[in-house]
Homo-oligomer: A and B are copies of this chain.
Amino acid sequence: MDIQSLKKLALLGAHQKPLELSSVEFAEHIDSSQQTAARKLKALEEDKLISRQFLPDGQLISITKNGIDTLHKELSDYLEIFSGNGSIKILSGKLITGLGEGQYYISLEGYRSQFREKLGFDPYPGTLNVKLDAKSIEIRKKITQNIKITGFTDQNRTFGKGSCFRVRIADIEGAVITPERTHYPEDIIEIIAPVNLRNYLDLKDGHNVNVEVIK
């Protein structure tokens, strides 16, 4: 079963909407002859990993449910490889809309200056909130919150301390921040980053988000 070809088609978006692609174009992507590319597409179809529709100047390719399941199995394998000890950790979940508190706290200079110093970036004033899946909740519990944010006092009130750990989401490095409160939910993480992640990654509520924990 030709998983590398199937992966290539998925990276070209064939798991989302039908992809118009000729065998010559696909040949360039997989660095082969047109004949081999055509044969591989045919084989993927016979394995029921993709479905095809022929056009005068190419073909419309969609990855089937079966194909997506196959890719998902691969993803699981790689997640398993990198989710042991000493290796990388991935937190997964779905994007949700927070209460908007994050924006207020982050923009306070007392916290903001600490983010600049300790994380090395000026955070966009807002958080990306992700509701973790069951497995990720367990992984999260084992992460050491290695960056401490101290509390401070205003004229009016006191702001509590918290902690962070660094993460990467797509190609952006940010951090998960955790206020040190008693009743903070364990299944939600709040991510800060130098950019507005929701816009930058074009994410909407309910979208899957994968966050890699970095050192």
A interface list, Cβ under 8 A from B: 3-4, 7, 10-13, 15-17, 19, 71-72, 74-75, 77-90, 135, 138-139, 142, 146, 170-171, 195-196, 199-204, 207-210, 212, 215
15 pairs, CB–CB < 8 Å, chain A vs chain B: A11-B77, A12-B146, A16-B85, A17-B86, A72-B82, A72-B88, A79-B90, A82-B210, A83-B208, A84-B203, A84-B208, A85-B207, A87-B207, A135-B195, A135-B199
A135 contact set on B, CB distance < 8 A: 195-196, 199-200
Enumerate the 8 nearest inter-chain pairs by beta-carbon distance, A residue then B residue, closest first.
Answer: A75-B78, A10-B81, A87-B202, A79-B210, A16-B86, A85-B207, A83-B210, A84-B207
- Quick one: copies of this chain in the complex? 2
CA distance A114 to B112 in the complex (A): 51
CA distance A77 to B142 in the complex (A): 26
CA distance A3 to B81 in the complex (A): 13
Please determine whether B75 and A71 come into contact, CB atoms closer than 8 angstroms.
no
Closest to A79 in B: B210
A88 contact set on B, CB distance < 8 A: 72, 202
Please determine whether B77 and A16 come into contact, CB atoms closer than 8 angstroms.
no
Interface centre among A71, A87, A171, A215 (most CB of B within 10 A): A87
A195 contact set on B, CB distance < 8 A: 135, 138
A87 contact set on B, CB distance < 8 A: 15-16, 201-203, 207
A89 contact set on B, CB distance < 8 A: 202
Closest to A1 in B: B4
A212 contact set on B, CB distance < 8 A: 79
Question: How far, in Å, is A96 (CB) from chain B's closest CB?
Answer: 15
A90 contact set on B, CB distance < 8 A: 79
CB within 8 Å for A15 and B81 given contacts A135-B195, A138-B200, A139-B200: yes
CB within 8 Å for A19 and B215 given contacts A78-B75, A203-B84: yes
Closest to A170 in B: B83
